[in-house]
Structure 1
Amino acid sequence: MTSRPDGSAELSRRRVLRAGALLALGGSAVPLSGCGLFGGDEQPPEPDPLAPLVDESLGLAAGLRAAATAHPDLAARLVPLAESHEAHAAELARLTGAATSSGPAVPSGATWSSPAVRPGEPAATLAALRQAERTGRESAKAACAAAPADRAAVLGSVAAARASHLEALR
């Protein structure tokens, strides 16, 4: 940069071009920073693979409690099994970070349905409960085989409990 005789600074063409380039870069970088080009849109987390087992445990508990209500003579056998499923649902919910309802009802949006209770037909009700326990045992076994070690112990316990429930429902 050179000085003029009157003391003002003379701008060279190079200096003007450099200032224009910096202004252009600085002016466009600021608006682009908020448009998502720099990695802002994160995907929601995948659903926990144990979440269906929470619903399933609650559904089994609800089915057992409904059967105990419909067949009071079976209540002594069925209520402890329902409590076992509710305890498993609470532990699985703790592992997944899901909330469970305070009662044995299946949460809204659950895809699992409880077994059919047949009033006046205890043998048919027990058969439906056994089938539900068998299905539940298989899903717990499959989840256990696919789970990391910290979850496999809980899932193994759930599968074993469901297998013992099959015997209790004979």
Structure 2
Amino acid sequence: MLTTSRRFLLGALAGSAALAGCGILDREPEPAPQPDALQPLLDEALTLAASYDRAIVAQPDLAARLTPLAEDHRAHATELARVIGATLPSAGPSASAPTAGDTTATLRKAEQAAQKTAVAACKAAPPERAALAGSIAACRATHAEALR
């Protein structure tokens, strides 16, 4: 009779362990991962680069002035994507046509708004990311001044 009790007890323990291991007894599912805090900077860098590209198409005489600024934003996007492990969209011809809103004044306002986003990201970032966000904020402020 002692053997039967041990077998019963061992079987019950094994069954409980199997149920616990398969997740039936888990209370809540794993939460969805939060987007990276630097993702807004990446999105803005891509948007700004595309805005400059459209402005250059609309006003080719500004290409020498605007191309380096667009290239800065593409470089920022590349570095941000590397840091957060994101994949950049494939490079290709711009899908959107130039608009009347893609002027230097509009680009300046966009740079100023994006600079504020970068400053906020810099303040909230851990030290290993703050330098990148701060560098982007400084570059965006410089762009805004260059567009005066």
Q: Does the pair score TM above 0.5?
A: yes
Q: Which is bigger in relative contact order (C-alpha 8 A, separation at least 6)?
A: 2
Structure showing the higher helix proportion among its residues: 2
Q: Which residue of 1 aligns with 2:57?
A: 69
- Name whichever of 44-53 and 76-85 sits farther off: 44-53
How big is each residue's C-alpha offset from its partner over 1:53-109, in whole Å with a ceiling of 9 and x where there is no partner?
111001000001100110111111111100000001111111100011242789xxx
Q: CA deviation at 1:167?
A: 1.4
Distance 1:104 1:20, change over 3 A: same
Corresponding letter in the other structure for 1:162: R
Alpha-carbon distance in structure 2 between the residues aligned to 1:80 and 1:104: 18
Q: Flag structure 1 segments of 5+ consecutive residues without an equivalent.
A: 1-12, 107-113
Alpha-carbon distance in structure 2 between the residues aligned to 1:136 and 1:41: 36
Runs of 4+ in 1 over 4 A off after TM superposition: 38-41
| % same residue | 50
- Name whichever of 158-167 and 42-51 sits farther off: 42-51
Contact 1:61 1:83 in 2 (8 A): yes
Q: Which residue of 1 aligns with 2:34?
A: 46
Structure 1 length-normalised TM: 0.73
Matches within 5 A, 1:103-118: 103=91, 117-118=99-100
> Aligned Cα RMSD in Å?
2.7
Contact 2:19 2:25 in 1 (8 A): no
Q: CA deviation at 1:18?
A: 3.7
Q: Which residue of 1 aligns with 2:129?
A: 151
Distance 1:125 1:40, change over 3 A: same
Residue 67 of structure 2 is aligned to residue 85 of structure 1: no
Q: Which residue of 2 aligns with 1:20?
A: 8
Residue 47 of structure 2 is aligned to residue 59 of structure 1: yes
Contact 2:48 2:73 in 1 (8 A): yes
Distance 1:53 1:38, change over 3 A: same
Matched length: 145
Contact 2:51 2:107 in 1 (8 A): yes
Contact 2:78 2:88 in 1 (8 A): yes
| Structure 2 counterpart SS, 1:47 | coil
